[in-house]
């Protein structure tokens, strides 16, 4: 699965010893190990035009020791009949509900060891958000989709809904004849009677319940050519013509993955389906991968940046076919590795197949560092008991995990790493595995104690701040923005150090395993850069003298290393390790770099200082931005030129975004107005990334008439990418217009999965959140009934983070009596409040110096 929603946006094994502890000792949150499912048949009768549905399931089970009860999972289903069958013997069972969605089917007498069938007739209602089996509407038609990761198969049918129970499934679905019915496998048989069809699908390979999938509706489709198995892209009615770009590139991505893994694609088909209402970005269901519509429905020749995200997501989900589906985690505590590996593999595919997108210079770790710096952050491998536990810190599973894999590959070497991965996949095919199984496989192709090293990264939160003195001594402590939290953690940190000594630039490697050590080779170096290659998962600090010397020799570093330096000095400033003057001195040097991506990083760093901006310095900040950015704006304009590099295109977006979000420049406003009018009239006339930034400027200075144009255009266009672009432009600050925008999020044309994006933006538009919380007080019940459960639980993080003490107090009042009512909300509130309190402290500490610096420019 990939999580891509909020600017962005946003997944652990209990030892077997636990299962020998009696139920009386602690609450059971997993099913007993003495009952093992071996095969499950699921039959459903579903009409997308009706919320009620019915079904029955037959689960072949092996009871390995006598018992009086059988556990299974279900949520919000009616169990109409349940019995245990062995040959001709039918034993009725009674059902009681336990904790963690476990239902206990109890027999009047002891159930001997043996093979049985658990037969259950059930009924339920189709979900209207986007968890489990749910309804989505597009134009005038209804569609059924599924999202079963992480613990949502139990919402659709009773099951042994744990990843360690990896079994074959066979689905039979009855639905009105007009619909197309899809599932993980090819159709084995289809019969029609009295306007209803019954579709029997082929039996699947062994797989966990969370990648079972089906879809029902009046779909259109387009073929995916060049595959060794059948493949199609399915869309809502009338949308298949927009799939040409993804269809064109899918086969080459599959072939690249087959080559890397040394193994053919493992399932019998590759179908993609564009989903108009989807909580997450995409989901790796075996043979039926679901995507947010915006990832599949593109122009035939999308712009450079418009195609990067969709290609990466397709590669990520296809990589899961091997890592996640063919080889599956044993429990949710290792979900981080599932997602990290798919992201890492997608990155490798992108670099090899699409070098023009320049993804080799991405700094994946920068997506993880902010969240991992909080003292409340939990390890990416942590105890999991519920769905809320799985989703806690979801984003770090991708970014931190991928960063760690990049680091390991660099240590071992690409070829040896690939050999280890191929060995691991072959050994564990169609089975479950733990992270340690991978580390041990990779240890066979290297001389590194990977299990010991990885433990320091995945079983403890945070990352190190390394301090180097001029005599070569290096000390590590945890990087934290304030004094709160345990700084005395130790990581095993591989260093690739570039340094200058006696006028010569040299390189050395070193692995730091203790709180401190001495690297004699770098003693008395003029400067050091301890992250050669920019792959390190740490921050670092040298003396001011050494930093100044490095800045004078800045072109010794690669573009990627310079970009890493931009973010590193920013992190040092935020943690009070260097002064604001020293920070801006470094930014000034790096702003003159020859690589556009470094300049873009500098402007992004300046933009991130907006937490220090308020009415007392807003004009000074805007003036400073104009001074820095307008020369680039006049040079680059707003039109992509033929043959431009990806770096230059992204720099244009960064410059425009900085100006439109923070200044009142009339030239920029005039150009933005022209671009906005053009886009609203014809979305093909302006790239989406330019249009959203231009609309932000127009909205900031706009009135009700402009608001009406935005809203009318959103409703008129059903294309997901166009709607997303327009929504990103809503930045109307007036109270009445903000009120209308928040009301807009509750309308039917904003899908449940997209409500959170509107709330995220609405909460950030004004300097304080007074109006936002007033609106939330009035509409909270309506809001929570519409939104997916995951988004409800994470509302505090998405909308409550602030640098304003008044807003913190408002959040405390608002969530005080609500946070315990929704899974995950109390934890999300804790994260948001910690983040906000840190921001207030940083603002108080740094704003005087920031104001003084701006006055001097």
- The answer to whether 833 touches 376, Cβ cutoff 8 Å, is no
Q: How far apart are CA 658 and CA 633, in angstroms?
A: 10
User: How far from the centroid of its chain's Cα atoms is residue 745's Cα?
Assistant: 22
- The answer to whether 435 touches 442, Cβ cutoff 8 Å, is no
Which residues does residue 477 pair with via DSSP β-bridges, in sequence order?
A: 465
Dihedral through CA 40, CA 46, CA 51, CA 52, nearest 10? -70
- Alpha helices by DSSP H, listed for 473-595, are 544-552, 559-574, 580-590
Residue with tokens 């020998």: 20
Token couple for 103:
């239902």
Buried b (16+ CB within 10 A) or exposed e, 349-369: bbeebbeebbbebbbbbbbbb
Q: How far apart are CA 136 and CA 134, in angstroms?
A: 7
Supply φ then ψ for residue 64, to 5 degrees: -90, -10
Any residues with CB less than 8 A from the CB of 856 and at least 6 apart, and which?
A: none
Q: How far apart are CA 9 and CA 393, in angstroms?
A: 11
Choose, from 317, 339, 561, 797, the residue flagged as catalytic: 317
What's the distance, Cα to Cα, between the start and end of the chain in Å? Answer: 47
Determine the length of the chain: 857
Residue with tokens 């198995």: 229
DSSP state of 334: G
Which residues does residue 36 pair with via DSSP β-bridges, in sequence order?
A: 62
Q: Is 317 a catalytic residue?
A: yes
Which residues does residue 405 pair with via DSSP β-bridges, in sequence order?
A: none
Which helix (H) or strand (E) segment is 476 a member of?
strand 473-478
Supply φ then ψ for residue 276, to 5 degrees: -75, -15
Which helix (H) or strand (E) segment is 840 a member of?
helix 825-856
CA-wise closest residue to 278 among 299, 289, 263, 293: 293
Within 13 Å of residue 453, how many CA atoms lie on the same side as its CB? Answer: 20
- The answer to whether 157 touches 123, Cβ cutoff 8 Å, is no
- The answer to whether 810 touches 773, Cβ cutoff 8 Å, is yes
Positions marked catalytic: 317
């Amino acid at each position: 699965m990939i999580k891509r929603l909020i600017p962005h946006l946003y997944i652990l094994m209990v030892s077997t010893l636990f299962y020998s502890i009696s139920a009386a000792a602690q609450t059971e949150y997993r099913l007993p190990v003495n009952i093992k499912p071996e095969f499950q048949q699921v039959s459903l009768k579903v009409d997308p035009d009706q919320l009620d549905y019915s079904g029955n399931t037959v689960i072949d089970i092996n009871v390995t020791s006598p018992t009086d009860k059988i556990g299974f999972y279900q949520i919000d289903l009616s169990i109409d009949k349940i019995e245990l069958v062995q040959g001709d013997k039918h034993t009725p069972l009674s059902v009681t509900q336990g904790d963690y969605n476990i239902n206990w089917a109890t027999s009047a007498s002891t159930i001997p060891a043996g093979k049985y069938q658990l037969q259950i007739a059930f009924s339920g209602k189709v979900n209207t958000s986007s968890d489990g089996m749910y309804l989505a509407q597009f134009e005038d038609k209804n569609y059924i989709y599924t999202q079963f990761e992480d613990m949502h198969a139990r919402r659709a049918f009773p099951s042994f809904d744990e990843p360690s129970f990896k079994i074959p499934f066979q689905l039979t679905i009855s639905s009105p004849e007009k619909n197309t019915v899809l599932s993980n496998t090819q159709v084995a048989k289809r019969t029609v009677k009295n306007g209803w069809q019954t579709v029997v699908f082929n039996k699947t390979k062994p797989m966990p319940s969370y990648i079972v999938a089906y879809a029902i509706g009046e779909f259109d489709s387009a073929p995916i050519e060049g595959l060794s198995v059948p493949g199609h892209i399915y869309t809502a009615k009338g949308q298949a013509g927009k799939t040409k770009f993804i269809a064109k590139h899918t086969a080459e991505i599959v072939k690249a993955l087959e080559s890397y893994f040394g193994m053919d694609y493992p399932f019998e088909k590759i179908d993609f389906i564009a989903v108009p209402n989807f909580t997450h970005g995409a989901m790796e269901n075996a043979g039926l991968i679901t995507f947010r519509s915006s990832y599949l429905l593109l122009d035939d020749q999308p712009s450079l940046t418009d195609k990067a995200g969709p290609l990466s997501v397709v590669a990520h989900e296809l990589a899961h076919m091997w890592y996640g589906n063919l080889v599956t985690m044993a429990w949710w505590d290792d979900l981080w590795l599932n997602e990290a590996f798919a992201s890492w593999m997608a990155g490798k595919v992108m670099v090899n197949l699409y070098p023009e997108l320049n993804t080799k210079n991405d700094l994946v770790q920068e997506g993880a560092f902010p969240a991992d710096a909080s003292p409340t952050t939990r390890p990416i491998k942590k105890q999991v008991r519920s769905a809320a536990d799985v989703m806690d810190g979801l984003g770090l599973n991708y970014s931190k995990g991928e960063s760690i894999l990049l680091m390991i590959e660099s240590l071992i070497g690409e070829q040896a790493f690939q050999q280890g991965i191929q060995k691991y996949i072959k050994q564990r095919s169609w089975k479950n595995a733990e992270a340690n199984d991978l580390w041990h496989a990779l240890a066979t192709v290297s001389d590194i104690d990977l299990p010991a090293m990885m433990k320091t990264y995945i079983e403890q939160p945070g990352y190190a701040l390394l301090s180097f003195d001029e005599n070569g001594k290096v000390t590590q402590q945890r990087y934290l923005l304030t004094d709160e939290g345990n700084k005395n953690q130790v990581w095993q940190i591989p260093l690739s150090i570039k340094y200058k000594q006696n006028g010569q630039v040299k390189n050395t490697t070193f692995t730091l395993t203790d709180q401190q050590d001495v690297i004699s080779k770098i003693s008395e170096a003029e400067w050091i850069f301890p992250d050669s290659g920019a792959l390190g998962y740490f921050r670092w600090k040298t003396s001011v003298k050494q930093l100044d010397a490095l800045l004078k020799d800045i072109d010794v570093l690669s573009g990627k290393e310079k970009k890493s330096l931009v973010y590193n000095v920013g992190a040092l400033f935020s943690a009070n390790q260097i002064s604001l003057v020293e920070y801006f001195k470094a930014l000034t040097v790096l702003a003159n770099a020859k690589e556009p991506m470094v300049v873009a990083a500098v402007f992004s760093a300046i933009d991130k200082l907006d937490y220090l901006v308020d009415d007392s310095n807003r004009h000074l900040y805007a003036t400073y931005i104009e001074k820095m950015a307008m020369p680039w704006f006049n040079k680059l304009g707003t039109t992509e030129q033929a043959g431009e590099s990806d770096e230059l295109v992204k720099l244009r977006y960064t410059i425009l975004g900085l100006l439109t979000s923070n200044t009142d420049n009339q030239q920029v406003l005039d150009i933005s107005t022209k671009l906005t009018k053009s886009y609203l009239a014809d979305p093909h006339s302006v790239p989406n990334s330019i249009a959203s930034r231009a609309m932000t400027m127009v909205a900031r200075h706009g009135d009700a008439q402009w608001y009406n144009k935005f809203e009318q255009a959103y409703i008129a266009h059903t294309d997901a990418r166009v709607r997303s672009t327009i929504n990103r432009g809503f930045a109307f600050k007036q109270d009445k217009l903000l009120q209308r925008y928040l009301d807009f999020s509750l309308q039917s044309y904003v899908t449940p999965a997209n409500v959170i994006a509107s709330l995220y933006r609405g909460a950030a538009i004004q300097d304080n959140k007074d109006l936002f919380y007033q609106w939330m007080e009035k509409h909270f019940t309506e809001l929570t009934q519409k939104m997916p459960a995951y988004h409800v639980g994470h509302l505090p993080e998405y909308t409550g983070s602030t640098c304003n003490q008044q807003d913190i107090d408002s959040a405390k009042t608002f969530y005080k009596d609500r946070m315990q009512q929704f899974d995950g909300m109390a934890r999300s509130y804790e994260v948001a409040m910690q983040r906000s309190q840190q921001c207030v402290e940083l603002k108080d500490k740094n704003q005087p110096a920031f104001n003084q610096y701006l006055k001097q420019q």
